[in-house]
Structure 1
Amino acid sequence: MVTAPGQTAVVDVPEPAVGPADVLVRIRACGICGSDGLYIAVGGIPPRQGATPLGHEPAGEVAQVGAAVTGIAVGDHVVLNPMASSDGIIGSGGAQGGLSDFVLIRDAEVGRHLVTVPKHIPFEVAALNEPMAVASHAVNRLEPQAGQTAVVFGAGPIGLGATIGLKLRGVAHVVVVDVVANRLAKALRVGADAVINSAEEDVAERLRELHGEAPRHFSRGGKPGTDLYLDAAGVPAVIETVLATAKHGARLSVVAVHKKPISVDFGALLTSELTIAFAMGYPTEIFEVTEDLVAHWERYALIVSDPVPFAEVGRALELAATPGAADKVVVTFPAA
């Protein structure tokens, strides 16, 4: 858990007591998110400032089931909904975190708090369920239609998950933009139709080559025929590029966290009728995405770059916080 600004520690706590309506989950894997680094930097999240349990991307196996709980059994493999926990969001200010041996689900309901996954799915892949729900919500905000064209900015875990999601929804051609060569190579492996290194290529010109040129609308001529834009990068250049290149009627979904204000000339955008949607969390997607994850787990598995045992959790947190050092770090726990 976070113990002070910039500091974490492994803390011994009592094993949770299981009531008749509860389920105790033994955690077997938990991903590390960029927000974990933020929580560490600021010293936790009130009201648990200085004592915030970390980890909101957990997967595990059921260790105990209360007598009143139905639909689940000891030994089942499960993924959790961190936002549904009654004692606060798991790993994001709540009383429990997924970087723990156990998480107790109080008043557990299958389908609301947790769902089972087949046992052939590796735990480190199952732990992608939460971030892939974030990616799925970002895709849903685009309202994609079969046959459309799309571009995803950012080939990190969310951008890669969105790429997979767009292809599974029938988008005909998906381009991924990044500045890191190995991330672009991975984007092709998960199903992107093309990639653009924006440090070396003109994005608008390449999109015109790949998606054709859109019909002129008012004064907006020479725009790429790209229908959908998704920002999973969070840098001003992405928004500037989209606003300058979007054709009439295009849609933009912003899932990335922008840390600096961006100036937007709405007068210049008026004739574009660009729709801008923001995506936060997963209002309905947390278990909707599980079916995709299970059906295509080998493709999603490519997102995990660094599984690290819990005995080296400090190294895992440092690795995840170091720009360019790893794509997706997942902490793994031994079986009982």
Structure 2
Amino acid sequence: MTMKSVQTGAVGAIDVVDLERPAPGPNDVLLRVRACGICGTDATFLHMGGGPFGPGGQMTAVPLGHEAAGEIVDVGADVTGLKAGDHVVVNPQAAPSGIIGCGGALGGMREYLLIENAVVGESLALIPDSVPFEVAALNEPMAVALHSVNRSEARPTDKVVVFGAGPIGLGAAIWLKLRGVQHVVVADVIASRLETALAVGADAVIDSSHEDITARLTELHGQGANALGQPRPGTDIYIDAAGAPAVFNTTLASAKWHAKLVMVAVQKKSETDLAAMLRSELTLIASMGYPTEIFEVTPQLAEHSERFARLISHRVPFSNVADAYDLATTPGAAEKVIVTFDDDI
């Protein structure tokens, strides 16, 4: 029996191919994928036309998708704690054959996904049946967002600004408010994204396409100063979920003494004013992936599923998966695109 799977094709395009439906070994389960998100990593592989994983670094097709959620349909004889019909979310970094959807042998944007060495709490986690599959598919990116907030060590009394109202930035805003942080501002250049930021709990927003960020932060967070006593906004933590050089420049120009900058977005090349960092004794914190957070998020994702659902701008059926990738890779066209799989698969 065959199934359909999505992989990179020509530069900027996907291919939908037919593969044999896998059968689980004694330690595996077979997941019927019911929803899978599209990530910026997918777009990177699309723009490259694959990945340099062949012999001698030659470009090869890459199976796409690492934000999968679904229903177990077959369970290996030695697997415990799981049964057919269970709803689960996936840890794409736990696959023995390589990370799912980012250059490994398997991708999550397919009708059926083999979960190798299936262990609850390691390779997958149960999620209540009441949670829509498209919301469950947010588990992995929300783990990335939570790790950035954990790295910030934000306290309830802190005043925070998040740059970038994409899924990671909005997820960070949600986690900050669930953590009890006093005041969270979200900055972006797209008005509809700022509306979503307010809807998910941000205390204020800044449209950085025309507003003076430093002046607005001072208005919202009060007056602070850098190590030289120069006036600066009272913002304690800056989270960069945008990856634009302007974010670094704005932070360096605005940071008060002992402020923090958490870098979670993939950075573009830029020059950093190290003298400005010195004047504020700014702490730069890098945030990569989710060392422990992949399933820490799952209970709260379930508890606050309606809030997280607001991050999804487009739900596209798998029959139109090429349109979904076009949406996700067109700047400003979508916030979060989730591909859903029909009940009659």
TM over 0.5: yes
Shift of 1:125: 0.5
1:156 pairs with one of 135, 152, 166: 166
Residue correspondences, number: 334
2:29 matched to which residue of 1? Answer: 23
Q: Which runs of 5+ in 2 are unaligned?
A: 1-6
1:42 matched to which residue of 2? Answer: 48
Map 1:162-177; keep pairs closer than 5 Å.
Answer: 162-177=172-187
2:3 matched to which residue of 1? Answer: none
2:303 matched to which residue of 1? Answer: 295
1:254 matched to which residue of 2? Answer: 263
Distance 1:156 1:264 in 2: 24
1:80 matched to which residue of 2? Answer: 90
Q: Which runs of 5+ in 1 are unaligned?
A: none
2:281 matched to which residue of 1? Answer: 273
Shift of 1:45: 2.1
Shift of 1:103: 0.9
2:328 matched to which residue of 1? Answer: 320
Matched, 1:6 2:12: yes
Moved more, 126-135 or 216-225: 216-225
Shift of 1:199: 1.5
Distance 2:187 2:217 in 1: 10
Distance 2:226 2:133 in 1: 50
Distance 2:199 2:260 in 1: 25
Shift of 1:290: 1.1
1:232 matched to which residue of 2? Answer: 241
Shift of 1:217: 4.7
Q: What SS does the corresponding residue of 1:315 show, helix, strand or coil?
A: helix
Matched, 1:191 2:201: yes
Identity level (%): 58
After the TM superposition, list the runs of 4 or more consecutive aligned residues in structure 1 that deviate by more than 4 angstroms.
none
Contact 2:30–2:74 (CA under 8 A) maintained in structure 1: yes
Distance 1:139 1:162 in 2: 6
2:231 pairs with one of 219, 222, 226: 222
Higher strand proportion: 2
Contact 1:135–1:159 (CA under 8 A) maintained in structure 2: yes
Q: What SS does the corresponding residue of 2:171 show, helix, strand or coil?
A: helix
Distance 2:265 2:84 in 1: 38
Q: Deviations over 1:40-77 (max 9, x none)?
A: 11121232533211001100000111111111111010
Residue type of the alignment partner of 1:42: M
User: Under a length normalisation based on structure 1, what TM-score does the superposition of the two structures give?
Assistant: 0.97
Matched, 1:244 2:250: no
Contact 1:5–1:50 (CA under 8 A) maintained in structure 2: no
Q: Deviations over 1:312-334 (max 9, x none)?
A: 00000001111111111100002
2:74 pairs with one of 43, 64, 81: 64
User: Under a length normalisation based on structure 2, what TM-score does the superposition of the two structures give?
Assistant: 0.94
Q: Deviations over 1:211-244 (max 9, x none)?
A: 1011x45414211111110001111111100011
